[in-house]
């Protein structure tokens, strides 16, 4: 009986050891790239003309923020919207934009607000709003209008932010 109990305990110990080794090998994280980083400074250049794709990436960026935080790094993110993406950031989109985007405009607005609630700064390029005929007064309230998105990118990169292009 003692031998049987020893064999059972031995088998259980082996199974637990193998499980722990297997679990350790299958941890998916970013520890090798994050190292001992305390703050992750990212400047996201958002230049997307497809409303569904824009909405998708706004959700992905929220996940990136939360994933970095879960790994012990404080995210410090800024989004700079340029190009046709600005068409979807207005409280008064054109009828053409509404037709093109369908019901996704409300989701985009909701995701812009969710990003703001996370503390992510969002800037909209005034050059792009002019090119695409967007009234600057109609940009979502949680966003900041800047003179030129490229100048913002240059300035933030000079301050140590790392460029993340989102096309």
Average pLDDT taken over every residue of the chain: 91
Q: How far is CA 112 from the centre of its chain?
A: 11
Nearest to 61 by CA among 73, 85, 43, 34: 43
Domains of the chain: 30-166 (3.40.1260.10)
Does 1 have pLDDT greater than 90? Answer: no
The contacts of residue 39 (CB under 8 Å, 6+ apart) are 73, 74, 75, 76
Q: For the whole model, what pTM was predicted?
A: 0.85
Angle at 119 between CA 76 and CA 132, to 5 degrees: 95
Contact 149/45 with Cβ under 8 angstroms? yes
Nearest to 77 by CA among 61, 88, 63: 61
pLDDT number for residue 26 = 76
Q: How far is CA 23 from the centre of its chain?
A: 28
Each residue's pLDDT tens digit, 125-150? 999 999 999 999 999 999 999 999 99
């Amino acid at each position: 009986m003692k031998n049987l109990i020893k064999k059972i305990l031995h088998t259980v110990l082996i199974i637990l050891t193998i499980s722990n080794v297997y679990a350790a090998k299958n941890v998916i994280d970013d520890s090798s790239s994050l190292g001992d980083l305390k703050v992750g400074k990212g400047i996201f250049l958002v230049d997307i003309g497809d409303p569904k794709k824009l909405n998708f990436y706004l959700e992905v960026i929220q996940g990136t923020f939360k994933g970095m935080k879960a790994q012990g790094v404080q995210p410090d993110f800024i989004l700079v919207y340029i190009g046709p993406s600005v068409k979807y950031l207005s409280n008064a989109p054109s009828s053409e934009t509404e037709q093109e985007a369908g019901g996704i405009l409300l989701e985009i607005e909701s995701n812009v607000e969710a990003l703001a609630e996370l503390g992510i700064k969002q800037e909209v390029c005034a050059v792009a709003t002019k090119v695409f005929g967007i009234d600057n007064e109609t940009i979502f309230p949680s966003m900041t209008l800047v003179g030129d998105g490229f100048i913002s990118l240059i300035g933030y990169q000079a301050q140590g932010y790392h460029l993340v292009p989102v096309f």
